[in-house]
Amino acid sequence: MLDLRQITMESSSAIDHNAKPPVISPPLQEEQLFVLSSSHRRPIEMDLEFRRGLFASPIPSAAEAKTINGMLVQAVSALEQLEEECRILRLYVEEYRYLVAPIRRVPNEILGKIMLDCRPVHYVFRSGGSTAIQLGRVCRLWRDVSLSIPALWSSINLTYNSLVRDIGAYTSTSSQLQIADTLHLHLTRSQPALLTIIIDFNELPYNTASGLIHQFISHSDRWHNLQISAPSSELLQLMPTRGRLHALEYLSLHARTYNVLPSFQIAPKLRSVKLSGYVGFRFHDRLPWRQITILNVTGDGKHFLVLLRFCPQVQILNMSHDFDREEEPDESSIVNLLHCHRFEFTVMNSLCDTPEKSYESFKKFFSSLRLPAARSIVLRDTQDSRWPEPWPIRHLASFLEHTKALKELALHGIKLDRNEYLPDSDDRESHLTTLLKSVPYLDILTIGTPGFSEDSDRHSLHDVRFLGFLLQALSFPPQNQLSDTLVPRLRSLVLNDLNLCHWPWTRGWHRLESMIRSRHKAIYHDQEQMPGLQHLLLSNVSCPDSDASQFRTGLHRLRNEGIDITVTLYDYYDYSEDDTGDSDQAALETDDGLDSGSDTMGRNLEDEDDDSDQI
């Protein structure tokens, strides 16, 4: 049991008697106590006002009510004014809604792709800037996007057109400096994209564009597509590019003469070449001809064969004769292009000064050219003459006969309305028959009637003969003579520039319809089933309203038999009659945007279900 006295002594001994008592600080500031009783102080004004309001009536006086009503009227008026301003702003925003069109929410990558569709850059020195500069002026976002796409600045077109601009806009010192600065801007912003350069300064005075052409030299390693039409003196400015054309793939040159030409030999990617004004000068060491696969040449046709001997790998060949220099080539050996699968030959002017010499030049050309791998051949005569010159049909047929796999043949403007005596025979056959005998595997045949400078009896006479020979060549013989069928594999027939207002076509339409119907039937030939004619295209058809009904009815009959028919109409208007029947007008109507007498519109008969309104 614990001793209470002992516990008391122990606790007293634990107390420190020397410790100082805690110091209690006085308050920082002495404050008076509030008088709680109002009877001990005088009332203040606030108390008096509170008491008056507490015991006064809650109904405002007339003066107070008037003041309150005035304040309410002002508030309502202000609110109505704000609502009117909001309505005006809504209308304003609605009018300019295109400012927040979906195009502004398109991602930058897609916007950049859209901008690239604005190429090429035409007239980099025109007022207001080039296309790329104008796109960058729309807004800050568009400017940033345009600057981030070097390819947008990489397509440049420098063209002088005397009909659009005065020559002073190019030859003055200030203009030259402005053009040079703008050109430097585009070349700088286009790095490192490949360049497409189009230059046409043929109409400028001598040595005017030298400085501009020289700017491109330092960027020749980025040339991808180079098209230059300029005097030969300006072409000399390209001489320093030797050995720096590693990206060049397409080259187009047009000069008055090719006496001098810079070398493009070291261009390993160059595959496509276009020469305009070719006259047979010997510059064959300036281009890598053996690697060219696409060749387009315009000039004196008598010298084309000389050039083709240097191009054994060409696959697509397009040649156009547009002038005669009265110089005959030295060689006439056979040129065999084993890889050419497409060939186009256009005659714009007479090959020689007399029809007899032109005929002999034609014979020489087609007798010396071989295209055994050709699958598509287009022959075009665009001479503007009253009576087109004849072609050497038998030599042309021999040329076609060497094309073993020809599938598509187009004859535009070539006279096919003649008979021709065969060697050592009294029999005569039409030109068209002679040609079709040479192409037994033909699938697509296109025939365009020659262009006459004016309507004449010769035009009608040509149509009479041509229609007869067309029916003779394409109509099926009797069943026991199917071996004599021409082009039995023909699936598509295209007839261009038919003038149905000429009486040969109006009277012979039923015969043409019968031939097409017979061609549509499938036949067996050489133990092979031929599908027959499946597609018919009548292009640039001129038909007056008076003949539209018969024309439309015949086409509907063919369509109902399963032939795919497309008709392209030449807009015809009969000024002698102002009122036109609904059915005839519908048969020949064209789009509102087309110019009368110059444009065409395609019609596909498969889309029509009724026989009363349209072709």
Question: Per residue in 381-408, pLDDT tens?
Answer: 887 666 667 788 888 899 999 988 899 9
Backbone angles phi and psi of 436, in degrees to 5: -70, -25
Is residue 120 reached through a cis peptide bond, with omega within 30 degrees of 0 on the bond before it? yes
The residues, any chain, with a CB within 8 Å of residue 100's CB and separated by 6 or more, are: none
* Euclidean distance between CA atoms 571 and 594, whole angstroms: 9
Torsion of CA 276, 278, 282, 286, to 10 degrees: 10
Torsion of CA 140, 144, 149, 152, to 10 degrees: 30
- H/E element, 551: helix 545-560
| pLDDT, mean of residues 265-278 | 88
- Identify the CA nearest to 221 among candidates 250, 242, 198: 242
* Euclidean distance between CA atoms 336 and 235, whole angstroms: 32
Question: Per residue in 314-368, pLDDT tens?
Answer: 999 999 988 766 566 656 688 999 999 999 999 887 666 566 777 777 888 888 8
Question: Per residue in 180-217, pLDDT tens?
Answer: 888 888 889 888 989 988 887 766 665 666 677 778 88
* Euclidean distance between CA atoms 575 and 504, whole angstroms: 23
* Euclidean distance between CA atoms 410 and 343, whole angstroms: 10
* Euclidean distance between CA atoms 46 and 39, whole angstroms: 16
Is 591:600 a contact under the CB 8 Å cutoff? Answer: no
* Euclidean distance between CA atoms 586 and 548, whole angstroms: 9
- Identify the CA nearest to 552 among candidates 574, 569, 527: 569
Give yes or no for residue 524 having a pLDDT over 90: no
Q: Is the dihedral of CA 529, 534, 540, 543 positive or negative?
A: positive
Locate the domains of the chain by residue range.
118-270
- How far from 266 is each of 72, 242, 243, 270, CA to CA, in Å? 90, 7, 5, 9
Work out the mean pLDDT of the chain and round it to a whole number: 74
Give yes or no for residue 409 having a pLDDT over 80: yes
Is 294:341 a contact under the CB 8 Å cutoff? Answer: no
In 255-340, the DSSP E strands lie at: 272-278, 294-299, 316-321, 335-336
- What local confidence, expressed as pLDDT, does residue 161 receive? 59
* Euclidean distance between CA atoms 590 and 194, whole angstroms: 43
Q: In the structure, what pLDDT confidence band is assigned to residue 379 with cuts at 50, 70 and 90?
A: very high
What is the Rg, in whole angstroms, of the alpha carbon atoms belonging to the chain? 45
Token digits for 305? 């064969």
- What local confidence, expressed as pLDDT, does residue 492 receive? 93
Token digits for 147? 């600057």
Residue type, 1: M
* Euclidean distance between CA atoms 472 and 414, whole angstroms: 18
**Percent of the residues in the chain that have a pLDDT greater than 90, as a whole number:** 15
| Region at 160 (left for phi over 0; alpha for psi -120 to 50; beta for the rest) | beta
| Higher pLDDT among residues 374 and 415, named by residue | 374
- Identify the CA nearest to 284 among candidates 297, 299, 265: 265
- What local confidence, expressed as pLDDT, does residue 259 receive? 60
| Higher pLDDT among residues 507 and 250, named by residue | 250
Residue type, 527: Q
Question: Per residue in 207-236, pLDDT tens?
Answer: 666 677 778 888 888 999 988 887 766 776
| Higher pLDDT among residues 267 and 502, named by residue | 267
Q: Is 489 exposed, middle or buried (CB count within 10 Å of its CB: 0-12, 13-18, 19+)? A: middle
Token digits for 532? 């027959």
- What local confidence, expressed as pLDDT, does residue 493 receive? 92
> Which range has highest mean pLDDT (77-81, 112-116, 161-165)?
77-81
Backbone angles phi and psi of 195, in degrees to 5: -100, 140
Angle at 112 between CA 109 and CA 115, to 5 degrees: 160
The residues, any chain, with a CB within 8 Å of residue 80's CB and separated by 6 or more, are: none
- What local confidence, expressed as pLDDT, does residue 249 receive? 92
Judged by DSSP in three states, 341 sits in coil
According to DSSP, the β-strands at 535-542 and 492-496 are: parallel
- What local confidence, expressed as pLDDT, does residue 423 receive? 45
Paired with 16 in beta bridges are: none
- What local confidence, expressed as pLDDT, does residue 602 receive? 34
